[in-house]
């Protein structure tokens, strides 16, 4: 019998319990993150089941990846075997932290203040000054439970957002 892939290099034989890196090639990254700035390999993940006849392996994925509904079975072409480094040669090397697939960075975004408002028809928007010195326009729905809104209304001398002046922008 003639096999089409008999001229290809054989797949590495990975065993149960081996540690591997997983390629990010087919993983969905959070919105706003560029693929070229993300790592090519994430992990270390342990192989739970090995199907060497089909070159597929089941990995023990962390909860963050399981919550994204990522199936734990991967082809060997998406895996890279972990090689243990010599600790005497590389004594100060720290293990890399697992890649965060969450949508937000670790540093928090907090609202410093509301610095203005504008009406667009019946919709009220507030100019929000964030802790990282960025300003954006946010709707009343997103700002309604903020202490910054209460301070802003108090500075305007009113009690309810509907009482705000209908000029284009106040500062």
Q: DSSP assignment of 17-75, as one string?
A: T-EEEEE-TTSPPPTT--GGGS-SEEEEEEEEEEETTTTEEEEE--HHHHHTT--SEEE
- Determine the longest span between alpha carbons in the chain, in angstroms: 87
- The fraction of the chain above a pLDDT of 70, given in percent, is 78
pLDDT for position 101: 66
How many angstroms separate the Cα of 158 from the Cα of each of 152, 155, 163?
9, 8, 7
Residue of 10 and 107 predicted with greater confidence = 10
Check residues 29 and 60 and name the one with the higher pLDDT.
60
Q: Which stretch, 57-61, 80-84, 87-91, has highest mean pLDDT?
A: 57-61
Q: For strands 19-23 and 79-81, give the pairing.
A: antiparallel
Among 55-59, 108-112, 134-138, the least confident range = 108-112
32 contacts: CB under 8 Å, gap ≥ 6: 103
Would you say the pTM of this structure is higher than 0.75?
A: no
Would you state the pLDDT for residue 78? 93
β-strand partners of 111: 130
* pLDDT-based confidence at residue 60 (cuts at 50, 70, 90): very high
20 close to 81: Cβ distance less than 8 angstroms: yes
pLDDT of res. 56: 92
More confident residue, 46 or 169: 46
pLDDT digits (tens, 9 = 90+) for 12-58: 778 899 999 999 888 877 767 778 888 888 888 999 999 888 889 99
Closest CA to 76 of 7, 16, 14: 14
Strand order in the sheet with 111-120: 111-120, 123-130, 135-139
């Amino acid at each position: 019998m003639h096999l089409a892939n008999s001229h290809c290099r054989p797949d590495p034989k990975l065993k149960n319990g081996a540690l591997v890196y997983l390629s990010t090639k087919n993983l969905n990254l959070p919105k706003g993150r560029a693929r070229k700035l993300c790592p090519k390999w994430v992990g270390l993940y342990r192989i739970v089941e090995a199907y060497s006849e089909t070159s597929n392996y089941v990995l023990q994925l962390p909860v963050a990846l399981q919550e994204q509904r990522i199936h734990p079975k991967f082809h060997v072409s998406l895996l890279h075997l972990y090689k243990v480094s010599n600790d005497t040669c590389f004594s100060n090397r720290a293990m890399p932290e697992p890649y965060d697939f969450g949508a937000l960075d670790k540093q928090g975004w907090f609202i410093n203040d509301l610095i203005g408002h504008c009406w667009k028809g019946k919709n009220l928007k507030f100019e929000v000054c964030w802790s990282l010195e960025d300003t954006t326009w946010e709707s009343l729905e997103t700002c309604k439970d903020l202490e910054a809104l209460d301070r802003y209304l108090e500075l305007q001398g009113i009690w309810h957002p509907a009482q705000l002046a209908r000029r284009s922008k106040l500062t």
